A and B are shown apart, each in its own frame.
Chain A
Amino acid sequence: MAHVWPIGGGKGGSGKSFITSSLGRLSAELGKKTLIIDLDLGAANLHTLVGVPDPQKGFSDFIRKKIPLLEDTVVETPSANLFLISGAHDNFDIANLSYEQKIRTLRAIAKLDFDRILLDLGAGTSFNTLDFFLISQNGIFITTPEPTSVENVYRLIRSIYFRRIRYCFNVTEFKELEVEADRQFGDGSFNRPDSLMKVISRTHPEKYTQLNIEFDAFRFKLIINQVRKHDNAALGLQMCRMMDKHLGLNMEFLGNVAYDEHVHDAICQQVSFLERYPYTKTATDLREIGKQIVESAGRQLTLRYM
């Protein structure tokens, strides 16, 4: 099974697609057969970033069953070793995948034959994003050093946490849990994953243990993007510490990526930033992170809950 790296970050414009495309290129350069999938459903533009402005097939062909196998929707990119499943010509209702479609997609992704698969996920905390995140233990979160972005990334992480708990229970059980949490911890606490976990530890001890094992297995990563010179360089490490201490989630800081005006230029010219501006701080940062990702070989989460 390939290493799947979902990349998300809650807030729009934090550089998810740019980082996905850059990491994809780097991984391909380092000799890994790499696939990037545009799962920013309804707002896809990864194809533009990797130099395939008009892909002939894409993800929606698989959803509409025009192409039965997901691997047949893969298109080549100008870079060697780098492949793309594009969302360019998605139909307009693609943003709202049905449950069956989503499960079909998740299973198909798990079966793809690539060394590395990067998923470019959309902003927000729709169920699509959360479920694609939960496909792997190696989710990468991208945030910028701004309150808006930090807020959204915390929100996304809590939502994923919550979603995972939700999978363990059926509707009535979950409703009971919420009521119980509300009773014990006061108003609004049904919305807090840690309070829910405390209730579960008493009402469903065996599920609590299982969930704990799974949360412990998560190896989430954090990238701080668009770091200006005067920004706090330790922000990433501090955020990881917060997550570990107050949510009990393992989170690894991968690194800062410096802000650079040239990223905008490269995107406008539709060329690879890493090739056009290889000696910038930003490119060095990206290469550093890319190396870590290519070298890491963590165990993959099996899709047990599907």
Chain B
Amino acid sequence: MNPLLDQFLSEGRDFLQSIGERLLQLEEAPGDSALMNELFRLVHTLKGNSGLFDLPEMTRVLHAAEDLMDAVRDGRIPFDRPLADCLLEAMDFVATLIDEIAEAPGDAPPSTAHHASDALRLGETLRSLLQDRARSADGADPAEEEPPAPPERPEAGASDARPSALDPIDLPEPLRADLIRRLEAGGSFCWLRYEPEEECFFKGEDPVHQMLQLGDPLWCRLESREDWPPLAELDAYRCLLRFEAILDTTPERLAEHFRYVPDQVRFEPLSQEILTAATAAEGGPASTSDRAFSAEAEWSFDLVLEAQREILALSDTPPWLDGRLRAVAASLSAAFASVGRESEIEGLEPALQAAIETRSPTPLFAWLAARHPQPHAGRATAPDDDTGGGSDRIAAAPAPGEPTSISSSDPEESIRFGRRAEDQLTSPRTLKVDQVKIDRLMNLIGEMVVAKNALPYLAGRAEEVFGVRELAREIKAQYGVINRIAEEMQDAIMQVRMMPVSFVFQRFPRLVRDIAHKLGKEVRLVMEGESTEADKNIIEALADPLVHIVRNSLDHGLETPEARQAAGKPREGRLSILARQESDRVLIEIADDGSGIDPDRIRRKAYERGLIDEAELERLTDQEAINLVFAAGFSTAEQVSDLSGRGVGMDVVRNAIARVNGSIDLRSQVGRGTTLRLSLPLSMAVTNVMIVESAGQRFGVPMDAVAETVRVARSDIRTIKRRRTTMLRGRLIPLLALNDLLALDAEQIANDDDELAVLVVRVDQEYLGIVVDDCRETIDIILKPLAGFLGGLTGYAGSALLGDGSVLLVFNPRELI
């Protein structure tokens, strides 16, 4: 099933649910116009959505419902019970269709043509309601108005479509004879009349084409419904044609063929009766079916009576005996009436009374025996051969009786159609869950991970403190199992939270089009990898920065068509947005082929704004200059436009990305274009941190910031301009003591060889050494942001619980320095 249809079905169910609720609420408060508007909007949207698919039946009914609601909304007709009933029935019909489509295998929505007659009938009911009400609202006494008859059952609708006696077709005699002969030989033919509506040409229909597609007719007639006016007044675009044909086809195929215009066609299978009826004017179909039921009906009648007999033969006396007796009496009365023996029912009522009074079935038994002696063995059902299982028989008995009572061609259809919302058969496959619940689940799993991490500590204690090595090993084995399950759980919940980046991307085509239009630029947007997935929080955090970047590209990056042509580039600029997954990160690349960023201009601007001094102006490499666009308060735009140039620019973008542990990389070549590469974690839930020790405390450092850990001999540390530095593989690394950064009043402790532990972190492509007392293991933690008063401490990314119950503060190297 394609995703669009899937979404339509799941949304459709939601809509129907809401529509149902609103309708019920409206019954309580018919005057509530806000509610009515809401209802109208829901139906309108659902109708619009259904139009995306090839579902004319659904659209037709919804369209009629929409018209009706529109009239109610405008106050042209009042809202009341019968109207609500009709609308509810229409919605049940739509629900039936939706269920059917959802259950169908395959990709494309199945044809729902077999519901065409129901759709037609419902549509007409709704429309007639609209007209009746409108008239009665205009006219005198609405009290006289009878509530509209409840819509007929579908089987009635089907037989209603029977053309009124097929107005004796004056078929040529040889053809008639031929048809009768071929019908006898088992052929199937249909008579069809198609009267396209007058405006059909304006809807792009071509009735001739429709008819030609049906293949060669055995007989055809084409005439006008009215006399043609004089040529000068003829309106060629008002369709007045009437097509009639006899075709070698089935009604199902015709229904399918004309499914968009079911109200304009009538067809029915040809039978010998119809053909002969045309000759023998008065011999209606009634004569043919006169005694047709007798054999079958008699058999069913016997079965019903037999079942009643069995019920009466039950010897127990349950508290519901009265009800059982009444039921038997009702069944008997109905059975006798159905075979035309109404006169015999008279004695039944006294027998029933007597039976109830005596609390015994005997009087009824006697009555039945008098009217219908026990049939002998050898009838349709041999009663002797089944000794037990009376209830089975009762359940099975009525089934063959169906043809007499229901004339519908498809009884299953009517059963399904009649169902209401409360006996929903299929449950939807997708769940909509409040995000809070998912978050709670994730928090719980987080705690589980923490609790799980306590097991190795326990194992350690078992061995070291209590000296039970055996137990320690068993705890570790158990830990392995729990660890695996916890990881799988974590993975599963991550999957739930995953969203495709298309959630953000989908707004770009429109955005790019509008902005390009406003700026008079020609832009082609290329998007790839929309299905790449990442955690919901990440995706949401991405939305605003991406919009900003795209705007920047359009505003500053891409040139006007004229400028592009002058530069020897195609008039149309190209903006590409690509997303892909690389190990545990999502990469998003936004590239344009515009003018690029001129480093000299950036240098000058930055200098003018006082962001850099003269020395830096000389020293900055081009790449460093380009990165200046990320500096706070930087803007190159000469003018503040409504698109960009307010100075809240790329620094905001960078911070937003950094907040979700992402990084941003900007490359640009003058005249060739600019590429921005965002790298984001797939998920924020679990953070891998390295534990370091300093001044007797433990701290965490996010692993993605850690480049390496080294031991540096104190003698290798040089002080340059009062800052400590060291050479590491030919690179000069500035060193900062963690105790100084955190204002802890202690010296960093060196190891026995007088070497200091240095954590080399990478901040914005620059390396920096942080001197700590010791580096420890790395662990996975659930990072909780600091909240409340501590929330203002930007130096820390958050805190986490460790397996031994202590709290670990995780610092944020970028902010700390």
A binds B: no
Interface on A for B, CB 8 Å cutoff?
Answer: none
